[in-house]
Amino acid sequence: MLEVFLAALVSDLATGLGALPFLFLTHVNERWQGMAGATAGGMMLSASVFALADKALHRGNAVEVIVGMLAGAAFFAVTAQLVERQHWTLENWSEADSRRSIIRIATMFVHSVPEGIAIGVGYATGELNFGLLLSAAIAVHNIPEGLAVALPLRAHGASVPKCAAYAVLTSVPQPILAVPAFMLTSVFQPLVAPSLGFAGGAMIFLVMSELIPESLRACTPRETAWSVTIGLVGMLWFTAAVGL
């Protein structure tokens, strides 16, 4: 149980790494923010398809994964609509400035729930390599998620530690739920494939509805296309290189 908790905790903390680039950037101009968002989007697309969906297909059938992905996309769409109807603010910013950060924090937080369950069940299968690879895959795909969370926060003046803290907060459900899922495998085992699909679907919808349109408003279509491609290929190479 300790190993399961530590693996999930490392996965959670990996989300904070997405804020590290801002330690070396004193000013985030709109064009760079657009390209960085598109790059993070490409990484998230790659991780969603080649890591999460791929692992899901090894633990379930295509129908379960597809249903999970569609549910994740629907969850993100509904969450965005609910936030738009509210008058929530963050860090004393305006509602418009707060919207992107609130949507991303809320979405990432809830979509971390099935990831935490998946880590616990992955270890409970008795296949240590599968548990390690699954938690590593989730940790790696958490990094661009952290960058996606940090981008609007940093653009509106939030400090780097605060950006990292918000990013880590979005993945807190992973260490909290991994151990119970490990202990209650019979209950959660059937949920692994659709849960991983859910996480991937939510991320794909976020990329297509938020990150890419924002990038296109901030830079040229060519810059956006290259940024997405570089992020996707880079994450694919890393996934292959470390055996995920």
Q: How high is the pLDDT of residue 105?
A: 87
* Cα 242 from Cα 198, distance rounded (Å): 24
Structure tokens at 55: 């692992």
Has residue 184 got a pLDDT over 70?
yes
DSSP string, 202-225: HHHHHIIIIIHHHHHHHS-HHHHH
Has residue 77 got a pLDDT over 90?
no
Has residue 51 got a pLDDT over 80?
no
6-19: average pLDDT: 92
Domain boundaries, the chain: 2-19+29-241
Q: How far is CA 132 from the centre of its chain?
A: 18
Round the average pLDDT of the chain to a whole number and report it: 85
- High-pLDDT (> 70) share of the chain, %: 95
Which are the contacts of 236, defined by CB distance < 8 A and separation ≥ 6?
46, 50
The single-letter DSSP state of residue 158 is -
Has residue 16 got a pLDDT over 90?
yes
